[in-house]
């Protein structure tokens, strides 16, 4: 059974980093808007696309650090059904917007792991011909053997080792998302209840 082992990233460190990330993304969008306007092009609307449910907490903090006009279009994808701690292949469960042509899209997820989720989503969104697409993740999990899909993200809060973490939106079997800190887990060897 997996139980909480300890704190990997404390809430204060997360808050500081997310605030900085939000300000950076907003500044980059502002600069992009200025560049487009200088070329006589109208900057498209900013659309945040959080991947539910994991990106819920991260997005709530990130968008309040951005201070730009935006809309939010959450999507639901799942790759870790139930008690699994490794990716089982991505399924789209709903809500992928189909009207992103000309928009400036920021896809937000909790963690980049196998790369399948964000790889799929970037393809689905890029195919709609948006003005720009950026990926922002709170955590970038290092994979010694490489990712299933080699996705590069424009923004990452923290690089972490290849271990399963929960809290600040991340779950195990649907639980622990409300932990304020990001925690590692310990397997006591007993079967899951």
What residue ranges bind ligand IMP (CB under 6 A)? 51, 54, 79-80, 87, 90, 109-117, 164-166, 170-171
Q: Which does 134 bind (CB under 5 to 8 A by kind): Mg ion, ligand IMP, none?
A: none
CB 10 within 8 A of CB 181: yes
148 is catalytic: no
Q: Which CB sits closer to ligand IMP, 110 or 181?
A: 110
| Partner interacting with residue 32 (select from ligand IMP, Mg ion, none; CB below 5-8 Å by kind) | none
Write the interaction track for Mg ion spanning residues 46-85; mark x where CB under 5 A is met and - where it is not. Answer: --------x-------------------------------
Contact 50, 72 (CB under 8 A): yes
Q: What are phi and psi of 151, to 5 degrees?
A: -100, 135
Q: What share of the chain is helix, strand, coil (3-state, %, to 5)?
A: 25, 30, 45
Q: Is residue 115 a contact residue for Mg ion (CB under 5 A)? A: no
Q: Which does 59 bind (CB under 5 to 8 A by kind): Mg ion, ligand IMP, none?
A: none
Beta strands in 10-115 (DSSP E): 46-52, 71-72, 75-78, 91-94, 104-112
Strand, coil or helix: 138: strand
How many of the chain's residues bind Mg ion (CB under 5 A)? Answer: 1
Measured from each CB, the residue nearest to Mg ion is: 54
Task: Return the residue matching tokens 């007993």.
Answer: 190
Q: Indicate the residue whose CB is closest to ligand IMP.
A: 114
d(CA 10, CA 13): 5
Which residues have a catalytic role annotated? 113
Residues in contact with Mg ion by the rule CB under 5 A: 54
């Amino acid at each position: 059974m997996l139980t909480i082992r300890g704190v990997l990233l404390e809430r204060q460190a997360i808050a500081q980093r997310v605030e900085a990330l939000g300000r950076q993304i907003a500044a980059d969008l502002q600069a992009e808007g200025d560049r487009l306007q200088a070329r006589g092009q109208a900057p498209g609307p900013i659309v945040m696309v959080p991947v539910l449910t994991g990106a819920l907490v991260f997005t709530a903090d990130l968008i309040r650090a951005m201070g730009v006009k935006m809309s939010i279009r959450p999507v639901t994808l799942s790759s870790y059904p139930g008690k699994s701690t490794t990716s089982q292949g991505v399924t789209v469960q709903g809500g992928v917007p189909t009207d992103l042509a000309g928009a400036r899209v920021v896809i937000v997820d909790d963690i980049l792991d196998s790369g399948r989720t964000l790889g799929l989503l970037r393809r689905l969104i890029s195919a709609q011909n948006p003005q720009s697409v950026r990926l922002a993740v709170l955590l970038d999990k290092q994979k010694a053997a490489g990712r299933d899909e080699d996705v590069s993200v424009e923004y990452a809060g923290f690089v972490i080792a290849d271990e399963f973490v929960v809290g600040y939106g991340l779950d195990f079997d649907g639980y622990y998302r409300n932990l304020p800190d990001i925690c590692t887990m310990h397997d006591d060897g007993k079967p899951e209840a």
